[in-house]
Structure 1
Amino acid sequence: MPYTTSCHCGAVSVEMQRRIKKLTRCNCSICRRYGALWAYQQRKAITVTADKGALTSYSWGKKSIEYYRCTNCGCITHYERTDRRPDGSDMSAVNMCNIIGPESIAAVPIRLLDGAGSWKVLREAAEPDLFASPAEEEPDD
């Protein structure tokens, strides 16, 4: 089952071909600011489609990662390592907060990664309410 994400204005979409087994919320200095929920897959299993001029990237520190965002609406869409392997086997991350059809990942466990300190997983659990909309619930009789 492919998963498709899109920025808010629709100028950038990202499709992932492989099943998502875990999501990651990181508390490092950049991820906590972005509020991203990352799904990792090999770059060759991810297809990025963008209108001309719709993507820009940001790197900092050692410049080993490029974070991509839509130039129109500003949504963080994905990141890639700067030392890309020719065969595409290097890992990339897609921001699943942008998913079309969030119910498709509601049961996927989310791990909280301490990227700000120990680089250890602090906890892991599914958070189905994160993707639920109160407007979709049936009223109680």
Structure 2
Amino acid sequence: MTSKQPIKATCHCGNLTITVPGQPELINECQCTICRSYGAAWGYYKISEAAWTIKDGGNFKEYARTSLGSNHIFRRCDHCGCVMCWWPSDTKDPGAECGINMRMVDPKKLEFVERRISYEDLLNGKE
């Protein structure tokens, strides 16, 4: 059972925070080349559920992954480099899914959330 208490994902320096309405249903450790490189553990939400807070002087950098049909934009803190999330490049649909890096959340807030390691992309020949 997931908690519906809001949780915050905050980068190391504290410049960027994403608040979501509660724990994700599960945490996915995707094994594609980019997620493995980032060491990310994704919780999935609707774009409309995620709220950004950016401190004065804070900023994020974007990296658009466009290989093999992927249309994800990864956002990281411009100061400390922590990868915060991925967003679809077309955000016109507020019901579209985004991934929030749960490694930026206090682990005590996620203690009982199921974790999965997904090899699906590798098995299907995707990066």
With the shorter chain as reference, the TM-score category is 0.7 to 0.9
Q: Does 1:30 align with 2:37?
A: no
Aligned to 1:44: 48
Q: Does 1:97 align with 2:103?
A: yes
State the identity as a percent. 25
Query: Matched residue of 2:103: which SS?
Result: helix
Aligned to 1:11: 15
Q: Does 1:107 align with 2:112?
A: yes
Cα deviation digits, residues 56-87 of structure 1 (max 9, x gap): 1001325611000000000000110011134x
Aligned to 2:64: 59
CA distance in 2, matches of 1:23, 1:66: 19
Q: Which runs of 5+ in 2 are unaligned?
A: none
- Answer 1 or 2: higher relative contact order, Cα 8 Å, separation at least 6: 2
Aligned to 1:122: none
Aligned to 1:131: none
Aligned to 1:127: none
CA distance in 1, matches of 2:35, 2:23: 23
Superposed CA RMSD in Å reads 1.6
Alignment TM-score, normalising by the size of structure 1: 0.77
Q: Which runs of 5+ in 1 are unaligned?
A: 120-141
From the CA coordinates, give the structure whose radius of gyration is larger: 1
Where do residues 65-104 of structure 1 align in structure 2 (5 Å cutoff)? 65-86=72-93, 88-99=94-105, 101-104=106-109
CA distance in 1, matches of 2:73, 2:120: 17
